[in-house]
């Protein structure tokens, strides 16, 4: 199967109509996406507890001898529209923000300012190494929100491109001035100018794809010589992974297919033709929300949804959500100080030639 980027993307980005989840979906057994081994230890099992309109199947996470954690078996390609429902959060962030009342907008602006601030160091690096305009590609760009951040961080001196399978999300991104191809990345031929990008950015996508190695090869092909790539992905070498075990929110059943730590990701990136410049750690407070929701949901589903809303935590800037995210962000920073890691990695790569 070719790489599937945020693979529910053929669904429409609009509120889902109520329907019962599928009792059973088609699955496929796979070898380790990193080393190809066929045996491993099952370390966790769980169900999709975030969305009630996908599937009630039980899934298993397996740790390979190489260290990679991966879903096995995982949903078949025919089920991608099932596991990524129409109300999947990544497709509607901009439209949610635009419809939000003023209080929500203020919180959204704080979130935006934080993300733009995180992009500024890379923006300075690009200014020092490349002349403007800076050509940016976001693989799995959703509705274009991160491309908006990059454009602002670069002072408007950016040509922004995206790859996004969801037609409606791609349309929203285009409405905000980005050049977006509504295809899977493996289907791209002449739609984007390969070999010309100064930076490829991809946030929390590589863990969703069938072949992370193929994904990295495609990323490399998009870059010009010496170009940079920034990839964000969950990190299994963190305290909440060890504490919550099968309830860890980073499993994101059944949508996260490959989960890395710094060692396994670096080895894969180097094999794909990259130099690993740095691995840093970013707070992933949403994983804590999803973890507590997973713990409570089997016995107290209403309480779990009220205290730890798994979808609205990403799409609605309420005061309660702000307090939750602030608390768990503080815990993540504490983990960085005391443990050296937290729930999400940001890997900076440079194309080797």
Residues 174-218: pLDDT tens digits? 999 999 998 877 677 677 888 999 999 999 999 999 899 999 999
- Segment 46-71 shows an average pLDDT of 96
Residue 198 to residue 219: CA distance in whole angstroms: 11
According to DSSP, the β-strands at 134-139 and 197-203 are parallel
- Segment 251-279 shows an average pLDDT of 97
Selection from 160, 140, 5 nearest residue 80 by Cα: 5
Give the global pTM.
0.88
Residue 317 to residue 209: CA distance in whole angstroms: 29
Q: Which fold has domain 86-351?
A: Rossmann fold (3.40.50)
Could you check whether the bond before residue 133 is cis, i.e. omega within 30 degrees of 0?
A: yes
- Segment 294-320 shows an average pLDDT of 93
> Residue 280 has which token pair?
């840093």
- Segment 96-101 shows an average pLDDT of 43
Residue ranges of the domains in the chain? 86-351
Torsion on CA atoms 83, 84, 87, 89, rounded to nearest 10:
120
Give strand pairing partners of 60.
45
Contacts for 99 with CB less than 8 Å, ≥ 6 apart: none
Residue 6 to residue 142: CA distance in whole angstroms: 8
With 90 as the cut, is the pLDDT of residue 102 above it?
no
DSSP 8-class letter at 165: S
Contacts for 266 with CB less than 8 Å, ≥ 6 apart: 276, 279, 347
């Amino acid at each position: 199967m070719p790489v599937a980027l945020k693979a529910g993307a053929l669904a429409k980005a609009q509120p889902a109509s109520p329907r019962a989840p599928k009792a059973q979906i088609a699955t496929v057994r796979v070898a380790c996406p990193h080393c190809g081994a066929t045996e491993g230890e099952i370390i966790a099992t769980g169900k999709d507890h975030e969305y009630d309109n996908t599937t009630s199947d039980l899934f298993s996470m397996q740790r390979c001898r190489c260290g990679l954690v991966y879903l096995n078996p995982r949903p078949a390609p025919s089920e991608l529209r099932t596991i990524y429902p129409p109300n999947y959060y990544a497709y509607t962030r901009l439209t949610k923000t635009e419809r939000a009342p003023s209080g929500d907008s203020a919180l959204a602006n704080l979130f935006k300012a934080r993300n733009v601030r995180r992009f500024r160091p890379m923006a300075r690096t690009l200014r020092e190494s490349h002349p403007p305009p800076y050509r940016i590609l976001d693989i799995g760009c959703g509705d274009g929100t991160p491309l908006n951040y990059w454009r602002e961080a670069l002072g408007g001196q950016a040509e922004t491109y995206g790859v996004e399978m969801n037609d409606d999300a791609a349309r929203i991104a285009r409405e905000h001035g980005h050049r977006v191809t509504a295809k899977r990345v493996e289907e791209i031929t002449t739609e984007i100018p390969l070999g010309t990008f100064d930076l490829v950015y991809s946030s929390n996508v590589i863990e969703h794809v069938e072949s992370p190695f193929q994904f990295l090869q495609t990323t490399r092909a998009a870059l010009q010589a010496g170009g940079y790539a920034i990839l964000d992905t969950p990190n299994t070498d963190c305290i909440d992974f060890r504490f919550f075990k099968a309830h860890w929110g980073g499993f994101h059943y059944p949508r996260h297919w490959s989960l890395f730590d710094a060692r396994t990701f670096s080895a894969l990136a180097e094999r794909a033709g990259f130099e690993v410049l740095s691995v840093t750690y970013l707070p992933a407070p949403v994983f804590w929300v999803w973890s507590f929701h997973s713990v409570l949901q089997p016995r107290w589903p209403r309480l779990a949804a009220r205290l730890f809303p798994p979808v609205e935590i990403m799409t609605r800037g309420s005061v309660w959500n702000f307090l939750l995210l602030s608390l768990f962000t503080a815990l993540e920073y504490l983990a960085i100080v005391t443990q050296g890691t937290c729930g999400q990695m940001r890997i900076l790569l440079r194309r080797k030639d």
